[in-house]
Amino acid sequence: MPVSGQTDAAIPSNIIKTSRLSLTSTSCPALLPGRALTPSLAVAGLLALANIDPVLAQDPGNVSAQTLPEVRVTADASPEDLPTPYAGGQVARGARLGMLGNTSIMKAPFNVSSYTAQMIQDQQSPTVADAVNKDPSVRFTGLPGGNIDNLYIRGFPVGEGNTGEIAFDGLYGVAPNYRVFTDYVERVEVIKGPAAMLYGMSPNSGVGGVINIVPKRAHEDLASVTASYASDTQFGGHADVSRRFGESREWGVRFNGSYYQGDTPMDNQSRKAGIGALSLDYQGKRLRASLDVIGQQEKLDAPGRPFIMGPGLQAIPGAPDGRRNVTQPWEWTRGTDESLLFRTEYDITDQLTVFADAGGGWTQLSRLFGTTPQIVNAQGDTLSTPTYYKFKVDRATYDAGLRGRFDTGPVRHAVTFQARAYSDSLDRANTTGTPVASNIYNPVVRPAQDLPAPGSVPRVSDNDQTGFSLADTMSAMDDRVLLTLGVRQQRIRSRNFSPAGAVASSYDESATTPMAGLVVQPWKRVSFYANYIQGLSKGDVAPPTASNSGEVFAPYKTRQYEVGTKVDLGRFTATFAAFQITKPSGQLTGNVFSVNGEQRNRGLELNLFGEAMPGVRLLGGVALIDGEITQSGTAAAVGKTAIGVPRVQANLGAEWDLPWVAGLTVTGAMIYTGRQYVNQLNTASLPSWTKFDVGARYRTRIAGKTSTFRANVLNVFDRDYWSGVTSWGGFSQAAPRTVLLSATVDF
């Protein structure tokens, strides 16, 4: 729950703070009848979601603010763990920078956005991908009715492989693999740019940035329910219950659960999903521990699919109606995720803390639908082959280390040492059906194909990462100057297997990735920062078709240089960043595989959030990105714009508390994305597009209970457009006009 007032830097966790707390209840999913999920989900089957309004007392349209007596809170009482938001409640003042821990945005040497549960719930964003799409530096490149969430950050793909790249509480390998729901999320943090030193190498070698989710914890006693509706006929319910126990309220438990079922706006498509999350924590004077357990299931009938250009197609046809669905009604996908994370830390002394964490995630996915449909001509005819796939993805993560605090003369040091191990494995098998023809404008229903499930699911690959990292944040002049230096050494080992189970290729390499970050605050509310940091991607093994087949290449190091400034005007904040990121890649030139490719993205970012005036809140910004292929084995590609990188991305969201109706807020948003190229030679592209959303919410008290009613209309003008493209050239149609309704009651 939020702490009133403003604190700039994290307070060492051994210090006990006493604060006056402002408690407000905003939102929670309502309890609706739903069927129980399978027993394999540790906490699924119940219905849930809730939230504490961080700025109720600051919101003139909010009529339920309450001030509680003084409460003694043990453990870290920084604004990052009990996130005091900026004015407007949409953006938190702090974020978690991997191994560096909690850091206020003003003192972070990176461009960081930290979106609150209040923003997520008020905008009715069901997944993390929906939530971060509000950031001008991020774009969701998948299809809303699809089964996987792909993203671009600063013009580089994140989450396109079979191993999830969203961090959970600062660690990879725990969050659900293909889709992360927001029901159990307290904050969604976006750290822009490569971050190998902070988080370790991303599981799929993503370098554009890191998305970290902070789970909801039991900061205070609460209970709330929400009922929801999404067009076409998708109904859902959520519940959130939180309690603290013990003589000093040191024990906490929080449960979130939800269930959704019904038809989506796309033709023939329906969806069922159940989510459950249990969070336990202990906050003692020196010992702190937490346990998070997550289970979720999702089933989609006729899931949406991205398209690719067929051979000989010169230009991409105009986008179809967003309701049209070329996926056959008898095609489907279903996935199950289970995750677990145990964290603990102990203060040996007031200056030295030891910590250890262990967790993992387990995903099973079955699907029967066509391979990525090819558009074969200008009339929009498509061809795909239904395939029955089974996937199993297992991840595990472990780390341990020390955090120390000491002074050397006028300089304060916060030193962290971490030892880390991460592993993942992919099992996969498939059976193939008969090709199916259709059309993007007039889909054709074909007879169902009864494909047998694969008889066995063999191992395809496994990967292991081990390493050590050391970082020191030095502060001087009353924390107005902060210099962070760090380095991480990693060993990366992987194996790929043949269908018979033999090792087809293997990889064993090491790399060292440093970082340096500087923050200078000449005035309390103005920060200047700069950083140099590297990203890390697993190097390639030359393919069998190359004359140097089997040659193992060193890990690819992506390099970022960034400078920026942040201005906090009290109720309104602006950040500005300029960056350059260079990412090498391997390519086959002739019959020789070598590291001769490079993509360079240069950009400018402006972010705005907070109250522009009393009762008027803004959230948005603009990102200008020049994504250029600077080196390539294909001479004609040099100087071209990288696939999927628009030159301009802009977001602007606004909220206005109507002064003549207490509790009523109207909202609106505009999202713009520039032209995106679909192929390396830039001969085909997606046109630029602009989408408008509108909404309203009303907060009041009914029978003494705070109640909130929300309505949002996405793509209000029902525009048809191609929304995004993946790094491999798959492009997606946009969702049609969609109506979202919800009603929340806090008990």
- pLDDT digit string, tens, across residues 163-182: 999 999 999 999 999 999 99
Q: Is the pLDDT of residue 617 over 80?
A: yes
CA distances from 238 to 36, 121, 744 (A): 14, 11, 9
Residue 529: per-residue pLDDT: 98
Mean pLDDT for the chain?
88
Residue 176: per-residue pLDDT: 96
Residue 78: per-residue pLDDT: 39
β-strand pairing of 209-215 with 166-168 = parallel
Residues facing 430 on adjacent strands: 389
The string of pLDDT tens digits covering residues 400-424 is 999 999 999 999 999 999 999 999 9
Q: Is the pLDDT of residue 65 over 50?
A: no
For the segment 48-75, the average pLDDT, to the nearest whole number, is 34
Closest by CA to 114, choosing from 262, 252, 214, is 214
Q: Which residues fall within 8 angstroms of residue 660, CB to CB, at 6 or more apart?
A: none
Q: Which range among 93-102, 347-356, 628-637 has the greatest average pLDDT?
A: 347-356
Residue 39: per-residue pLDDT: 32
For the segment 224-251, the average pLDDT, to the nearest whole number, is 96
Return the percentage of the chain with pLDDT > 90, whole number: 79
Q: Is the pLDDT of residue 21 over 80?
A: no
**Phi, psi (deg, nearest 5) at residue 56:** -60, -40
CA distance 163 to 173: 8
Residue 589: per-residue pLDDT: 80
Q: Is the pLDDT of residue 26 over 80?
A: no
Q: Which residues fall within 8 angstroms of residue 566, CB to CB, at 6 or more apart?
A: 105, 106, 526, 527, 529, 573, 574, 575, 576
| Poorest-pLDDT segment among 22-36, 270-284, 469-483, 575-589 | 22-36
The pTM score is 0.87
CA distance 120 to 142: 19
Closest by CA to 129, choosing from 113, 149, 143, is 149
Q: Is the pLDDT of residue 678 over 90?
A: yes
Helix (H) or strand (E) segment spanning residue 384: strand 381-384
What domains does the chain contain, in order, with CATH numbers? Answer: 17-746 (2.40.170.20)
Q: Is the pLDDT of residue 73 over 90?
A: no
The string of pLDDT tens digits covering residues 445-462 is 999 999 999 989 999 999
Q: How confident is the model at residue 4 (pLDDT cuts 50, 70, 90)?
A: very low
The string of pLDDT tens digits covering residues 303-358 is 999 999 999 899 999 999 999 999 999 999 999 999 999 999 999 999 999 999 99
Q: Is the pLDDT of residue 74 over 90?
A: no
Residue 594: per-residue pLDDT: 87
Residue 142: per-residue pLDDT: 78
Residue 746: per-residue pLDDT: 95
| Poorest-pLDDT segment among 195-204, 212-221, 537-546, 624-633 | 537-546
The string of pLDDT tens digits covering residues 569-594 is 989 999 999 999 999 998 888 788 88
Return the ∠ at Cα 706 (arms to 705 and 710), rounded to 5°: 135
CA distance 70 to 32: 36
Q: Is the pLDDT of residue 110 over 80?
A: yes
Return the percentage of the chain with pLDDT > 70, whole number: 89
To 10 degrees, the CA torsion angle through 183, 189, 193, 194? -70
CA distance 210 to 202: 8
